[in-house]
Amino acid sequence: MTDQSVAAVSLTGVDKTFDAGRAGAVTALSGIDLAVAPGEFVSLIGPSGCGKSTLMRLVADLERPSAGTISVFGKSAHQARLDQDYGIAFQAAGLLPWRSVRANVELPLQVHGMGRAGRAARADELLELVGLAEFAGHRPDQLSGGMQQRVAIARALAERPRLLLMDEPFGALDEMTRERMQGELVRLSTQTGCAVIFVTHSIPEAVYLSDRVVVMSPRPGRISAVVPIELSDRNEDTREEPGFFAAVTAVREALRARASVELS
Amino acid sequence: MTIVLATRRILTPVLAGVLLLVFWQLVVDLRDIPGYLLPSPEAIGTQVRQNFSDILTASRASGTNALVGLLAGIALAVAAAVVAVWVPPVERLLTPLASAVSAMPIVALAPVLSIMFSATSDLPRRIVVAIVAFFPVFVTTVRGLTRIEQVHAELMRSYAVGGWTLTRLVRLPGAVPYLFTGIRVAASLAVISAVVAEYFGGLQNGLGSRITSAAANTAYARAWAYVVAAIGLGLVFYLAALAAERLASRGRVPIS
């Protein structure tokens, strides 16, 4: 099953329409074809309403496609969810407020029946990984937004998923924290070797993190361009390199090209 | 700073209460109001002192009924709420019923229950208290159990778990502050119904029966002394429930 030739995620001809009651049906996604390789970091970017979150939620099996097929590591999205093949992080950290930081990280392990000792060891490891070891006993409301989000990421990584789904996890953070978190995420995804689908509306963020940036456009939501990012490695200086600016420009132009087509 | 504020918050009502008592005493003294109309606070105080040990015994009897009934009502309400949230038809059945029953004077059931059970039993009163306590706890607990954050629901869905795991790990801990709000309301009602249920006969061991028998013997100051005890008992229940609620909504479940 760890065959490298099997795509981490593969979508073919996927449509998604929502029933909007009296207003009729709203087409959120139309004709989506996308493949994500194991270990690949792919960002979905586009204006509000382009269906980027919906696309991620389809992969997570939190929504069902209206047409087309979705496979995750060669299985149906439904089976992949049952098999716990992915970890997920949302825009809101979504920590359980009555649990300690440690108990929040342990939550997925606990619901899947891992023993107390194993859970504790894994939680220590993960909190070390996200730099929050000394906050293990704190309650979520004693942590800053950025720290809460790191706990949520640690929780998403708890079961060593081969695929990480992230829906604007840094959306509510200030710019400084955001850049630091991006650095940490690059490090984490390299260390763990998991594939990532990352939803964002920040161009520099998408460029900094990704192997490929998928540019989407709204009404109906579709993929308008895929921009490969070729940066040698990511570090503190990456955001000041000419290659980075060139990639940012390429993504911006892909977004704008689509917008101008709409205006004309 | 907080101490000053707290003192002011406590001191103001206490001061108002003392002023009211002084005013009451003055009115009774100056206008020569007969004791059977309105006994003075001084006369009531004397009665409290003279009957102190009996007041304690009667308070213990009524308080035990209120406590046992309250705990039984809470236990039943939480169990019913969990079932109701799990099985939607049960919720649709129980919630309107809860609203309807909460508008009914349940203490009126006391004489009927006294007939059903032996008149020398505390059970009828405890049943009345349990029924009265059930509904506020049920209603708030259902609200707490159903008010689950979407991100938590989706997280648990992504873990491919639901049912009892979802209830145990997310719904129940999330409902704890709501549960204690219900308990605070139920605690006051429990004392009221335990005392009032005694007005309808049965065992003569609690505050309610002492109040009726003193009044029947035209010992109005003594009747008032037991009313004061009933107020005290109600305050004890209310404050205990309030403290529990504060604790539950702040610390929630202890940190591991």
ipTM reported for the complex, 2 dp? 0.85
The pLDDT confidence band at residue A260, using thresholds 50, 70 and 90, is low
Residues 97-156 of A with CB under 8 A from B: 97-100, 102-103, 107-108, 110-112, 137-139
Q: What are phi and psi of B19, to 5 degrees?
A: -60, -40
Q: Is B161 within 8 Å of A111 when comparing Cβ atoms?
A: yes
| Mean pLDDT score, A95-100 | 91
A79 — contact with chain B (CB < 8 Å)?
Answer: no
pLDDT of res. A104: 94
Coil, strand, or helix at residue A12?
A: strand
Give the number of residues written for chain B.
256
Q: Cα–Cα distance between A64 and B151 in angstroms, integer?
A: 18
List CB contacts (< 8 A) between A135 and chain B.
none
Interchain proximity A62–B159, CB inside 8 Å: no
Asked whether the predicted pLDDT for residue A262 surpasses 60, the reply is no
Predicted local confidence at residue B19, as pLDDT: 92
Q: What is the mean pLDDT of residues A75-79?
A: 90
Contacts of B152 in chain A (CB under 8 A): 94, 96
Q: What pLDDT score was predicted for residue B254?
A: 39
HSE toward the beta carbon, residue A182, CA cutoff 13 A: 28
pLDDT at A263: 54
B11-31 per-position pLDDT tens digit: 888 889 899 999 988 888 888
Strand residues in chain A grouped as ranges (E): 9-19, 25-36, 41-45, 67-72, 75-76, 86-89, 163-167, 195-200, 212-217, 222-228
User: In which band, very low, low, confident or very high, does the pLDDT at A171 lie, cut at 50, 70 and 90?
Assistant: confident
What is the identity of the amino acid at B7?
Answer: T
B78–chain A nearest CA distance, Å: 19
Taking 70 as the pLDDT cut, the residues of chain B under it are 1-3, 119, 250-256
Cβ proximity of B194 and B129 under 8 Å: yes
> Residue B2: its pLDDT value, please?
64
Contact A111 B176 (CB under 8 A): no
Which domains, and CATH codes, for chain B?
51-250 (1.10.3720.10)
Query: pTM for this one?
Result: 0.75
Give chain B's contact residues with A (Cβ, < 8 Å): 149, 151-152, 154-161, 165, 169-170, 173-174, 176, 252-253, 255-256
CB hemisphere CA count around B58 (13 angstroms): 27
Q: Does B252 contact A103 at a Cβ distance shorter than 8 Å? A: no
Q: Is the pLDDT of residue A124 over 60?
A: yes
Q: What's residue A1's pLDDT?
A: 44
> Does the distance separating the beta carbons of B255 and A112 come in below 8 Å?
no
Q: A7-63: per-residue pLDDT in tens?
A: 889 998 888 888 877 777 888 888 889 999 998 999 999 888 888 899 999 999 999
